[in-house]
Structure 1
Amino acid sequence: MVRHSGTELGQRVLIDQLLAEVLLILRCLQRVREPERSEDREVHDTRSGS
């Protein structure tokens, strides 16, 4: 039982890392596809992010 719960926690961490990487890749792809809109989004993202 302990090993099973341990593997579940490990899988959750891996999934979280994968999701974070996928989101970053999607953002990069959107910026490459839409360079004009990306400039406006970057200004809003920097303000809301910080």
Structure 2
Amino acid sequence: MKFLPISTSTSYYRHSFFPGIIPTWNSLPAAVAESPDLVSFKQGLANLSF
């Protein structure tokens, strides 16, 4: 599941959590982002290196 980047008018909002995390979320492998439950999501994150 990919999210579209949010257009922001200020750098303050652009660097806040939600707009700032979208590129990181979109870079997750599909197997992690589409995990069926929280346990497998956390396991998938633990196996990644950023």
TM over 0.5: no
Structure showing greater radius of gyration is 1
Higher relative contact order (CA 8 A, sep 6+): 2
Q: TM-score, normalised by structure 1?
A: 0.33
